[in-house]
Chain A
Amino acid sequence: MTAMSKDFQAVAQLMHDETVTHTFVKDVALPSGKTMALLTLDNGLDHKKPTTLGPNGLLELRAALEVQAERAKNGEIDALAITGKPYFLIAGADLSAVTRLSAPDQSTAMASLGHYTYELLADLGVPTFAFINGLALGGGLEIALACNYRTVSTAAGALGLPEGFLGLIPGWAGVYRLPRLVGPENALKVMIENPLNSNRTLSGPAAAKMGVADALFEPADFIEHSIAFADGVISGTTEVKRPNAVDPTDPEVARRWLDAADAAEKFVDAKLSGAAPAPYKVLEVFRKGLAISQQESAVLEVEALTGLMSTPQFQNTVYAFLDLVQKRGKRPAGAPDPKLARPVTKVGVVGAGLMAGQLALLFARRLNVPVVITDLDQSRVDKGLAYIHGEIDKLHAKGRMSQDAVNRTKALVTGSVTKKAFADADFVIEAVFEELNVKKQVFAEVEAVVSPECILATNTSSLSVTEMGRDLSHPERLVGFHFFNPVAVMPLLEIAATEWTNDSSLSTAFVLGKKLKKTTVKTKDSAAFVVNRVLLRLMSEVQAAFDEGTDAKTADSALTPMGLPMSPLTLLAMVGLPVAQHVNESLNAAFGERFAVSENLQKLIDAKITALWVKDEAGNQVLNPEAEKLMAFGDQHSSKEQILARVQDALAEEIGLLLDEGVVAEAADVDLCMITGAGWPMHLGGITPYLDQVGASERVNGKRFNG
């Protein structure tokens, strides 16, 4: 490794502005009379700035460990422990630093640096302990895994190896050590299943139960108990049991190992269809790790990391995760000063249907203010209220709402057959039939009742907000407030302003969106805003290829390499054929033939067919035979590759136009919308980094979306 030390220094110099996590060392006199060196990792900042490891921090840790290894040799210390500042062991490697490594030798240096540092923890000459006092992700958990023993706090927020999700592998020996410690099945749950399931993590108690840690202590005196535990271990009075640990040389274990890898690979295929390389790489190194030494595995890990660091999927995920979800999603571009917002103390929802019910429940739960739903007759109102009460009861049954909260929330939601109930509301949202005249009529009635400042909001997905406001006395308080289905789950809220919308109303809308815990994006009033416009353009192209004569399977699987959450025809069925067609008609009216209205689709709608794919008797997915009979196809067959390129180009074109029209401020807003509103994968970076990478942006627009 010494040959690399120059490279380490070079990478460290490259990251001269790193927020360095320092290593502080204190000696602790143990009750047994022995001495422990206690290392604390701390960047000197408060809990809002998690500790991460960049090259400078790693080199400092390595230097501190070298000193302690020397002391161990001289008999000055009997044990070493490592812990973190309050709430964190280490949040992981410094991702923003990693994305700045441009040359492969830099990536190799960064990847090797972890091994170079952690190897001393694994073999210091005296027993080493990690006291996992808080968050320990990725390289943070791998520090703990490198130690000989581990304790964990019951309050440790999140433990995990999310590298597979980010586009890397747990390549600082996590992939090698974890399966030996907790068994191959558990290890793959931590390295594959959890990361790909919305990046789930383990709690402290769950980690202890799995065997990641040897002891679990409460946070109030976690360090004290961990030290007493360590003293017991080195004094031989405390026995450490690891029931889940395995010996891979045991043939039975080897069989389990490979079986677990096969099962995990099936899981990855189902999630990603091969669209992102990292999880497959995790499995590759995991499989090879079965029969080799840790040092041999380290070579493979560094190789894999070096390769993955330059993949677009890794770069895109870090962009999506750090720049979009964590930053831009929290500070929406173009939102007016929150101080201009007016208080919302009562909410009205026009309509008592399914969407209205979801909205009313969200408002009541998040705002804790009275919410009134209205509809044309009492039976619809009663049905709406019954739905809301049922949903509240479900939350209670799942343990997500206390009985007190159930009582409070149910009492907050009332129904009425007259809009007079909105008289003292500060915010009224309509969720009635998608028909411009109906919505205009509704707003006219509401405006007759409410104060001139009461915000009027529409949840329309494709109609013109501007047209809805044209006849209002106070159009300056009208906003588009577009949620995604299911409202409680999807994070995105598109907030559309018209030419009249004033800052105070817009600010109120954004502040309200934040209180509803939604990711808000400001859009211009433009047909279908962002997400539905992009989705519908995609579906139009696939539908067109299908109508032209491509077989359904080819058409529907052409986009598999993108790793979208579902295939276009499955999405179509989920949205509902009539709804999709309706939005498409609006888009067609607004933008013309780019959004072709499919005659085939209309035939299916007329025949009340709800899905193109059905299961046959053997359980295989087949084209609905009834549907097939109704439709007419051309004779132009496209290949998967052709369709994929066609869709990429169409998306590049549509997003280029959308940006030119000023629908959102930047390409980053489109990406944020696709991730939070359509569940598009982070490894595409939302969508525009992907379109840049596959060349579609330049093919169609002559330039990249992102620099």
Chain B
Amino acid sequence: MSANASTVRNNARPSLDDRDVVFIDGVRTPFGKAGEKGIYHGTRADDLAVKAVRGLLERNPEVPAEKIDEISIAATTQSGDQGLTLGRTVGLLSGIPKSVPGFAIDRMCAGAMTAVTATAGGIAFGAYDVVVAGGVEHMGNHPMGAGADPNPRFLSERIVDPQALNMGNTAENLHDRFPAITKERADRYAVASQAKLAKAYENQQIQADLIPVAAKRPGEGWAVNSVDEPPRPGTTMESLAELRTPFRAHGRVTAGNAAGLNDGATAALLASGEAVRELGLEPKMRMVSFAFAGVDPDVMGYGPVPATEKALAKAGLGIDDIGLFEINEAFAVQVLSFLDYYGIDQDDERVNRYGGAIAVGHPLASSGVRLMSQLARQFSEDHSVRYGITTMCIGLGMGGTVIWENPNHADFGSKA
């Protein structure tokens, strides 16, 4: 396969415009469970981000570190080991030349996605040629919402229902809005997610983009983490049925049909078409369009729908043009509401081929790049697909979608 595939990719280079934005590579640390029992208890968030960035640059030696124009690293909680302008500190701690700048960015769960789109805008504008974009969240060191001080006006002026600040509640709200999405469907989706991830692991489709991380838990020796900690392969409908519904008595959202609380970091390398030719890079994806959109914070999980509508419109594409979906699984109900909207079956093989966050975990601001590197790998495996999307819901009622084109597709570069 490789000889053929690389020929196709090389042919992609001349068809890129100078200001096209391409995804060169993406990696991540294995994800861990947040909390005292997790593999990254005792590890700093910024160190996780450093491992991801160093791993990324090490496997892309054709990009000299001094050529990087920007390092954008996202985190939802920007304090402590996630404070002090992560993009800059991670650059310095990674041994990247001091001449390379960096910044920190936050859009909660879509932090890394926004790091990618913000720097992509810079590439398209001509401000950058090569960037590193990623995210980190150590939810063990930074429990969700810790240190936040919500404005009392949210409540007094009913701008946001206070219970919508808890993501689990918004997932229950989504079940209320779409009665057709039952707990049974949500659980079935979750079981499939676990099974798909287990299968992808078996096929070595996950490990290839993981950077092993040596971590030392207090009172223990060094361990090397080279696989994700959260997955529960072998999850069944029966095992899920027993779980309690912490957000509402007799509710539908459980720890089994939602993403967990996790620690992890991701990093991606993006480049301009011009840099691809200059440095002889092999793009894995071309960015077609992106969009973010807002919804009622009460049903935050619905965000991917308007975001995708917007992104498709900008790309001049319809949902039928999309051959692969990488949708973040904050909650099963939120994925199902998206699929139902577009009339896509929940077992459709275009959706989350490697499973999703329900199985692998969701260290908030890091997840966007995980979606992208997985889509990129699927593009390389399946040349029949021309377009794919990465999409995710975002706390306080938002969604984000990025549409990508597969350089391995026969029609790549021709105007659709």
Contact with B along A80-103 (1 / 0, CB 8 A): 000101100000000000000000
A223 to B225, CA, bound (A): 11
Known: A220-B93, A223-B214, A224-B214. A83 touches B55 (CB 8 A): no
CB proximity of A227 to chain B, nearest CB, Å: 6
Bitwise interface map of A from 299 to 310 toward B, beta carbon under 8 Å scored 1, else 0: 000000000000
Docked-complex contact A220 and B224, CB < 8 angstroms: no
Taking the nearest CB of chain B, how far is it from the CB of A151, in angstroms?
A: 13
The answer to the question of B413 belonging to the interface, with a C-beta cut-off of 8 Å to chain A, is: no
* Interchain CB contact under 8 A, B95 and A28: no
A26 proximal to B (CB < 8 A): yes
Query: Which residues of B lie under 8 Å from residue A39 when comparing CB positions?
Result: 221
Min CB distance B33 to A, Å, is: 17
- Chain A residue with minimal CB distance to B93? A220
Find A221's partner among B214, B216, B219, B222 (CB 8 Å cutoff): B214
Contact A83 B222 (CB under 8 A): yes
Q: Which residues of B contact A83 (CB under 8 A)?
A: 222
CA distance A224 to B55 in the complex (A): 10
Contact with A along B348-384 (1 / 0, CB 8 A): 0000000000000000000000000000000000000
Least Cβ–Cβ distance between A628 and chain B, in angstroms: 64
Cβ contacts A14-39/B at 8 Å (1 or 0 each):
00000000011110110100000011
A44 interfacial contact with B, CB 8 Å: yes
Q: A220-B50, A220-B51 are in contact. Are A85 and B216 (CB under 8 A)?
A: yes
Is A42's CB within 8 Å of the partner chain B?
Answer: yes
Bound CA span A90–B370, Å: 39
Task: Given A26-B222, A44-B219, verify A220-B94 contact (CB < 8 Å).
Answer: yes
**Which residues of B68-111 are within 8 A (CB) of A?**
93-95
Contact (Cβ within 8 A) A40 B221: yes
Known: A29-B226, A218-B95. A224 touches B213 (CB 8 A): yes
- Nearest CB of chain A from residue B382's CB, rounded to whole Å: 26
Cβ B220 vs Cβ A26 within 8 A: yes
> Are the C-beta atoms of B95 and A40 separated by less than 8 Å?
no
Give the contacts of B175-231 with A (CB-CB under 8 A): 211-214, 216, 219-224, 226
Flag if A221 contacts B51 (CB, 8 Å): yes
Contacts of A86 in B (CB 8 A): 216
Question: Which chain A residue has the least Cβ–Cβ distance from B53?
Answer: A220
Q: How far apart are B90's CB and chain A's nearest CB, in angstroms?
A: 10
B221 to chain A, nearest CB (A): 3
Chain B hits for A42, CB < 8 A:
221
CB-contact partner of B214 in A25, A29, A31, A227, under 8 A = A227
Size band of the interface chain B makes with A: 20 to 34
**CB within 8 Å for A221 and B95 given contacts A38-B223, A40-B216, A227-B224:** no
**Do A24 and B221 form a contact, CB below 8 Å, given A220-B94, A224-B51, A224-B212?**
yes
Interchain CB contact under 8 A, B51 and A40: no
The residue on A at minimum CB distance from B218 is: A44
- Contact between B222 and A40, CB atoms less than 8 A apart: yes
Q: A28 and B221: CB pair below 8 A?
A: no
Contact (A28, B51) CB under 8 Å given A220-B95, A224-B214, A227-B214: no
Contacts known (A220-B93, A220-B95); A26 close to B51, Cβ less than 8 A: no
Is B9 an interface residue, CB under 8 A from the partner? no
Q: Name the one of B50, B54, B94, B224 contacting A223, with C-beta atoms under 8 angstroms.
A: B224
Binary interface encoding of chain A residues 46-90 relative to chain B, with 1 for a CB under 8 A from any of its CBs, else 0 = 000000000000000000000000000000000000010110000
Residue of A nearest to B222 (CB): A40
B residues less than 8 Å from A24 (CB atoms)? 220-222
Least CB distance, A411 to chain B, in whole angstroms: 26
Smallest CB separation, B153 vs chain A (Å)? 44
A-facing residues in B288-318 (Cβ within 8 Å)? none
**For residues 216 through 255 of chain A, which have their beta carbon under 8 Å from a beta carbon of chain B?**
218, 220-224, 227
Chain B residue nearest to A223 in the complex (CB): B214
Give Cα A25–Cα B222 distance, bound, in whole angstroms. Answer: 8
Contact A38 B51 (CB under 8 A): no
Which residues of the other chain, B, contact A44 by a CB distance below 8 angstroms? 219
- B223 CB contact (under 8 Å) in A23, A26, A31, A222: A26
**Closest residue of B by beta carbon distance from A38:** B222
CA distance A42 to B55 in the complex (A): 27
Give per-residue flags for B123-138: 1 if the beta carbon is below 8 A from chain A beta carbons, else 0. Answer: 0000000000000000
- CA A28 to CA B224, docked complex, whole Å: 6
* Residue of B47, B55, B94, B223 with most chain A CB atoms under a 10 A cut-off: B223
Q: Cα distance A40–B94 when bound, in Å?
A: 24
If A220-B50, A220-B93 touch, whether A38 touches B220 (CB-CB below 8 Å) is: no
Of B47, B54, B95, B216, most A-chain CB atoms within 10 Å: B216
Counting chain B CB atoms within 10 Å of each CB, the highest count among A23, A31, A86, A221 belongs to A221
B94 nearest CB neighbor, chain A only: A220
Whether A221 touches B55, Cβ cut-off 8 Å, given contacts A85-B216, A86-B216, is: yes
Chain A nearest CB, measured from B150 CB (Å): 37
Return chain A residues, CB-CB under 8 Å to B55: 221
Q: What residues of A have a CB within 8 angstroms of the CB of B214 in the complex?
A: 221-224, 227
Closest A residue, CB atoms, query B223: A26
CA distance A83 to B50 in the complex (A): 21
Q: Is the CB of A223 within 8 A of B222?
A: yes
A39–B221 Cα distance when bound, in Å, is 7
Residues of chain B within 8 A of A85, CB atoms compared: 216
For B55, the closest partner residue in chain A by CB is A221
Which A residue's beta carbon lies closest to that of B220? A24
Give the residues in chain A near B50, CB-CB below 8 Å: 220-221
CA of A31 to CA of B216 in the docked complex: distance in angstroms? 20
Residues from chain B with Cβ under 8 Å of A221 in the complex: 50-51, 54-55, 214
Distance A25 CA – B220 CA, assembled complex (angstroms): 8
| Chain B residues positioned under 8 Å from A223 (CB to CB) | 214, 222, 224
Query: Measured between alpha carbons, how far is A24 from B51 in the docked complex, in Å?
Result: 23
Q: Shortest beta-carbon distance, B1 to chain A, in Å?
A: 22
Closest Cβ of chain A to B65, distance in Å, is 13
- Give Cα A223 to B47, complex, Å: 13
On chain B, the residues within 8 Å of A38 by CB distance are 221-224
* Cα distance A227–B222 in the bound complex, in angstroms: 11
Q: How far is the CB of A217 from chain B (nearest CB, A)?
A: 11
A24 to B216, CA, bound (A): 11
With contacts A223-B224, A227-B214 known, what are 12 further pairs, Cβ within 8 A?
A24-B220, A26-B222, A38-B223, A39-B221, A40-B221, A220-B47, A221-B50, A221-B54, A221-B55, A222-B214, A224-B211, A224-B213
| Top 6 A-B residue pairs of the complex, sorted by shortest distance between their CB atoms | A24-B221, A40-B221, A223-B214, A28-B224, A26-B223, A40-B222
Q: Can you offer 20 A-B residue contacts whose CB atoms are under 8 A?
A: A24-B220, A24-B221, A26-B224, A31-B226, A38-B222, A40-B216, A40-B221, A40-B222, A44-B219, A220-B51, A220-B54, A221-B54, A222-B214, A223-B214, A223-B224, A224-B211, A224-B214, A224-B224, A227-B212, A227-B214
List A residues at the B interface (Cβ < 8 Å). Answer: 23-26, 28-29, 31, 38-40, 42, 44, 83, 85-86, 218, 220-224, 227
Point out residues on B near A: beta carbons under 8 Å: 47, 50-51, 54-55, 93-95, 211-214, 216, 219-224, 226
